[in-house]
Amino acid sequence: MKILLNGKLVPKDKAVVSVFDHGLLYGDGVFEGIRAYNGLVFKLDDHIERLYESAHTLMLKIPLSQKAMTAAVVRTLQANRLKNAYIRVVVTRGVGDLGLDPRKCPRASYFVITDNIQLYPRSLYEKGLEIITVATTRNVPEAVNPQIKSLNYLNNILAKIEAVTSGYEEALMLSSQGFVAECTGENVFIIKNNRLLTPPAHLGLLKGITRQCVMELGVARGMEVREEVLTRHDIFNADEVFLTGTAAEIVPIVKVDNRTIGAGRPGPVTAGLLEAFHDLTRREGVRYVV
């Protein structure tokens, strides 16, 4: 495997960053997770744009243009001869001293990783996933805005720890007011009476790119689609529940906090949206040749 590190393709064991890099010391940096399907990088422009928006909010200057970063992703995929891959693009504040001051980091660092990923086993898409609500609440936007896809994921990791130690793969996170926010790495949707509902971003969740795709697919299928403040009561009594994310795609949820959702198996609307999403990934994206 080769990693693109600051413009150079290097072997995996040579892809290293300094212990003085503020991305490592403080989580000061941004990232994107992207997917390639059969030689098409899905929604690459959207992901790169969000990467640069996150960096702009952090006043983190990425040392190459968006067009050049797009080319860097394609170059790394080609170097590793991958037609299907998970792509991780990371930009750190760069090397500085042991203080917090970002001015002590004269140049940002970046790297691109392309590899395979399977977040959940295939059986879970067929049988559905059971999740629980955890005590760790989602960061409030006034403190750390979730629209900044930063390298500091401790909020999500703490929730993931709660889920795993309780015997579950995923956790539902609530806002500080007790409303449904998102899961540790995915957005949440419910289906109720042919309405497709998902929490609004102001509650403290990332406006996921897969989330937006699913909302558009719902509209195309004639569904009423909107953002709505949801409680756990709404989740428990939904016809169907599913999660969305770049790595996860669309994952059906069959039980939340030991409450059975709908018929207790992946529902037909979720299955239809997943099929439509897969069709979209076969048709849209930045094409490259291995």
CA distances from 226 to 50, 155, 215, 230, 240 (A): 22, 27, 8, 12, 16
Identify whether 149 is a catalytic site residue: yes
Query: What DSSP designation does 192 have?
Result: E
**Active-site hit among 2, 43, 149, 160:** 149
DSSP, collapsed to helix, strand or coil, labels residue 284 as: coil
Residue from 252, 259, 268 nearest 237 by CA: 259
Residue recorded with tokens 């937006």:
212
Taking each helix axis as running N to C, give the angle between helix 209-220 and helix 44-57, from 0 to 180 degrees, rounded to the nearest 10: 130
From CA 274, how far away is CA 84, in angstroms rounded?
A: 18
From CA 32, how far away is CA 87, in angstroms rounded?
A: 8
Q: For 130-147, b where at least 16 C-beta lie within 10 A, e where not — what string?
A: bbbbbebbbbebeeeebb
The set of catalytic residues is 149
